[in-house]
Structure 1
Amino acid sequence: MIQIDRDTDALVGEWLTIKEAAKALNVSPNRIKQLIREYRLLGATRSGVPSIPAAFIVDGDTLKGLQGTITVLSDCGFSDEEALRWIFTSDESLPGSPIEALQANRGTEVRRRAQALLL
């Protein structure tokens, strides 16, 4: 798990500890760690506490379109921290941030923007 800087921490906003995320998804903390290893979620260590962005969990499930977006960003060579920053940074072409677009079920748009980063 990566250690993030204050700017990225503030950009993401609300975080869940691994234990809180496990409870929200009704799985074990080890399963959350596995989801991070499998790039289905992104995690970070904040003040020594492993955590994931709260926005990644919606209604007891992972946010639709998140895994594909993380995969595309990884394929573009983004580090985990760069991917977190990109997902939570406002993009005028969406409009809003990629996380807001994912929450509005506009994952295809988000992945298109991410794929364009390869060009």
Structure 2
Amino acid sequence: MPDLVEVLDEPLGRVRRLIDEHYLVGSTRSGVFAVPSVFIVDGHPLSSLRGTVIVLQDAGFTDDELIDWLLADEESLGRSPIDALLAGHKSSVRRLARTLA
């Protein structure tokens, strides 16, 4: 969390709220809570991430599973879902995510 507070230049309470409200998602599988750096663009959470996270959670994905899905190559997109989001293709990513339910 301290690194996240520094990168986002926000107080700890605000960072926790961003996580609670699904603007960011992280994992503790390495023993410490971590958010993939690709989810943060220019010191802010990727704007299209929140809706995609909510769609995946509604489909039953855990945080670890949705992080894995976002970072893995997806044949139908021709790249990873996070790369597609970064390129501005949130509709195609969310359409695909809805089919995973």
Scaled by the length of structure 1, what TM-score is found? 0.77
Question: Residue 28 of structure 2 aligns with which residue?
Answer: 45
Q: Partners of 2:67 and 2:55 in 1: how far apart?
A: 13
Q: Distance between the aligned counterparts of 2:3 and 2:78, measured in 1?
A: 30
* One-letter amino acid matched to 2:23: R
Runs of 4 or more consecutive aligned structure 1 residues displaced over 3 Å after TM superposition: none
Q: Which runs of 5+ in 2 are unaligned?
A: none
Q: Is the 8 A contact 2:77 2:84 kept in 1?
A: yes
How far the C-alpha of 1:46 sits from its partner, in A, is: 4.8
Query: Which runs of 5 or more structure 1 residues have no equivalent in the other structure?
Result: 1-17
Relative contact order: is structure 1 or structure 2 higher (C-alpha 8 Å, sep ≥ 6)? 1
Counterpart contact for 1:64–1:107, Cα < 8 Å = no
- State how far apart, in whole Å, the 1-side matches of 2:76 and 2:19 are: 28
CA RMSD of aligned residues (A): 1.4
Cα pair 1:87 1:97 within 8 Å, conserved? yes
Residue 4 (structure 1) aligns with = none
User: 2-side partners of 1:41 and 1:85: how far apart?
Assistant: 14
Aligned length: 101
1:94 is matched by which residue type in structure 2? L
Equivalent position of 1:74 in the other structure = 57
C-alpha deviation, 1:47, in angstroms: 4.1
SS in 1 for 2:74: coil
Aligned residue runs from structure 1 range 1-119, under 5 A: 18-118=1-101
- Structure with bigger strand share is 1
